[in-house]
């Protein structure tokens, strides 16, 4: 669906590497204008490649259309990039003196009230603030790669940052679909990287001691505890491991293991030339047959599929996606009832495709079912109405396939009300490719639905509320002036 015009928001990204490029894509695809500064002469090419991957993956996480992408400007200086930005994301290399120098430049040119989020993996916010004129504008805002897909972001303020600024930072991050985690107090490497560093150190020892190869270690993670942690974390996972007796039993049973010499976490092997070569050779044997861009696309497809699966369960990161769906839906333009109403507007996600590479036939019906649900919401048969004991049940459906649809293609369903008097609701849907060059786009399919208003208590047909009937009569009178579809299958049921 079309989003209402909003005040343009502007972010600046200073440093366009892997993390900076991910921030750039996240802000841009959520409708922000983004100014970028990076002295690398290859920065525009590299960022463009990251953006191309983000464009094919990020919209697939959502079931409503994302805002129109913002405008991009590559700037010749830090000062030009930040001059009118409300949010500045610093993603320069992990050298404290460099960050101090760059943030001092930023603060000399940025608007009053703007915030600087540092992508630093390890420095504390007090260390960052100690080297700049205005520490009250600096926070650690540490994301995870790929920034444009993974929602969690660690937010670490320090004493001179006001609660108002912290609240604004958290709201800004949520507005671009992220799940900010505010740390209770600052610590070196924050929270997540401390876990990752511990696992990384142990992995280095396992490779050095010829216990496992790089691929075998990765297999243990991705086929075992990694996917489990993805949906439940550490403590909740261990709580379940304790059985009916819970966490206390788990700690009593496994706590003594912490005293056993299972790991070398307090020690780390020297990364000498021999170990570096060993790891590099094993990684080449594991993944060297694919390019970095291909590996990124494989990664993105897997993450989209996993996170959409979690969304179907409204669990973990899937809940964040649902919340962002609702946030995007609130910005949709109210329908024009003199015309068939747009009831679905979305991209076709990767997990909707079949072995032929196009949208599975069941998803056509899924789209029309979603269109009917949205139509019901728009006329007032929403969750409150259903909770009061009434709804519409589908009695008959007819679907005509006209053209194939592929993953990533944007589609739109427009719905016409053919009849809505009494207990009956007769809808006709048209599915179009959302081609911006055409008024409607290419016709992909049509769907016809006949629904009956039902009492959820008796499970029998019933008369809708007077308010709902009045709304339907008004829409029916307007849609009666529209051309009627040529061939109908549910006409006898009218």
- Name the nearest CA neighbour of 173 among 139, 125, 222: 139
- Categorize the per-residue pLDDT at 1 as very low, low, confident or very high, splitting at 50, 70 and 90: very low
Query: DSSP H helical segments within 209-358, as ranges?
Result: 214-220, 226-232, 235-241, 246-254, 273-287, 292-312, 317-329
Whether the pLDDT of residue 239 is over 90: the answer is no
Greater pLDDT, 493 or 355? 355
pTM of the predicted model as reported, rounded to 2 decimal places = 0.76
Give 28-67 pLDDT, tens digit per residue. 999 999 999 999 999 999 999 999 999 999 999 998 999 9
The DSSP call for residue 224 is I
pLDDT in tens, 316-368: 888 899 999 889 888 778 899 999 999 999 999 888 888 888 899 889 999 99
Residue ranges of domains in the chain, CATH in brackets: 10-182 (3.40.50.720), 192-289 (1.10.1040.10), 334-493 (3.10.129.10)
Q: DSSP labels for 392-436? A: EEEEEEEEEE-S--BTT-EEEEEEEEEE-STTEEEEEEEEEE--T
Q: What is the CA radius of gyration of the chain?
A: 27
The predicted structure's pLDDT at residue 394:
95
pLDDT of residue 259: 66
Among 55-64, 240-249, 295-304, 403-412, name the one with the lowest average pLDDT.
240-249
User: pLDDT at residue 426 above 60?
Assistant: yes
**What percent of the chain shows pLDDT beyond 70?**
95
262, pLDDT greater than 80: no
Q: What is the mean pLDDT of the chain?
A: 90
Quote the tokens at residue 217: 């270690």
pLDDT at residue number 440:
64
- Residue 274 predicted with pLDDT over 80: yes
Task: Assess whether pLDDT exceeds 80 at residue 459.
Answer: yes
Q: Are 371 and 469 in contact (CB under 8 A)?
A: no
Determine the 3-state secondary structure of 45 from DSSP.
helix
pLDDT of residue 438: 43
Query: What is the model's pLDDT at position 5?
Result: 44
371, pLDDT greater than 90: yes
Q: What pLDDT is stored for residue 356 in this prediction? A: 84
% residues pLDDT > 90 (the chain): 66
- Preceding amide of 146 cis, omega within 30: yes
């Amino acid at each position: 669906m079309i989003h209402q015009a909003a005040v343009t928001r502007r972010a600046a990204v200073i440093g366009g590497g892997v993390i900076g490029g991910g921030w750039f894509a996240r802000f841009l695809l959520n409708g922000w204008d983004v100014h970028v500064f990076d002295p690398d002469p290859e920065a525009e090419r590299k960022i463009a490649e990251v953006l191309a991957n983000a464009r094919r993956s990020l919209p697939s996480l959502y079931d409503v259309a994302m805002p129109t992408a913002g405008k991009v400007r590559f700037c010749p200086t830090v000062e030009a990039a930040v001059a009118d930005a409300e949010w500045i994301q610093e993603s320069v290399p992990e050298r404290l003196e460099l960050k101090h120098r760059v943030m001092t430049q930023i603060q000399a040119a940025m608007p009053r009230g703007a915030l600087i989020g540092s992508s630093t993996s390890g420095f504390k916010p007090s260390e960052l603030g100690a080297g700049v004129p205005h520490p009250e504008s600096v926070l650690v805002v540490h994301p995870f790669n790929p920034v444009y897909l993974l929602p969690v972001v660690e937010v670490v303020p320090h004493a001179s940052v006001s609660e108002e600024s912290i609240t604004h930072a958290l709201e800004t991050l949520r507005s671009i679909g992220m799940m900010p985690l505010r740390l209770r107090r600052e610590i070196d490497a924050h929270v997540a990287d401390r876990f990752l560093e511990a696992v990384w150190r142990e992995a280095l020892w396992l490779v050095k001691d010829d216990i496992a190869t790089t691929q075998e270690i990765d297999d243990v993670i991705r086929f075992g505890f990694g996917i489990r942690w993805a949906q439940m974390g550490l403590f909740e996972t261990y709580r379940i491991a304790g059985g009916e007796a819970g966490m206390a039993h788990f700690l009593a049973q496994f706590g003594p293991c912490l005293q056993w010499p299972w790991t070398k976490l307090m020690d780390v092997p020297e990364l000498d030339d021999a170990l570096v070569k060993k790891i590099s050779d094993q990684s080449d044997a594991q993944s060297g047959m694919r390019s970095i861009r291909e590996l990124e696309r494989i990664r993105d497809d897997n993450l989209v599929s996993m996170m959409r699966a979690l969304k179907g369960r409204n669990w973990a990161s899937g809940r964040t996606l649902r919340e962002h769906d609702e946030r995007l839906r609130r910005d949709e333009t109210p329908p024009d009832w003199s015309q068939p109403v747009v009831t679905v507007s979305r991209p076709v996600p990767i997990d909707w495709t079949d072995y032929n590479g196009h949208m599975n036939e069941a998803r056509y019906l899924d789209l029309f079912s979603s269109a009917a649900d949205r139509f019901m919401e728009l006329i007032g048969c929403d969750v409150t109405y259903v909770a009061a004991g009434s709804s519409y049940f589908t009695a008959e459906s007819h679907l005509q396939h006209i053209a194939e649809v592929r993953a990533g293609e944007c589609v739109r369903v427009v719905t016409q009300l053919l009849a809505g008097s009494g207990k009956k609701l007769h809808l006709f849907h048209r599915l179009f490719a959302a081609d911006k060059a055409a008024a409607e786009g290419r016709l992909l399919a049509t769907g016809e639905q006949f629904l009956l208003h039902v009492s959820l208590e008796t499970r029998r047909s019933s008369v809708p509320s007077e308010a709902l009937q009045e709304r339907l009569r008004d829409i029916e009178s307007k849609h009666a002036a529209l051309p009627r579809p040529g061939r109908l299958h549910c006409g006898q049921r009218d």
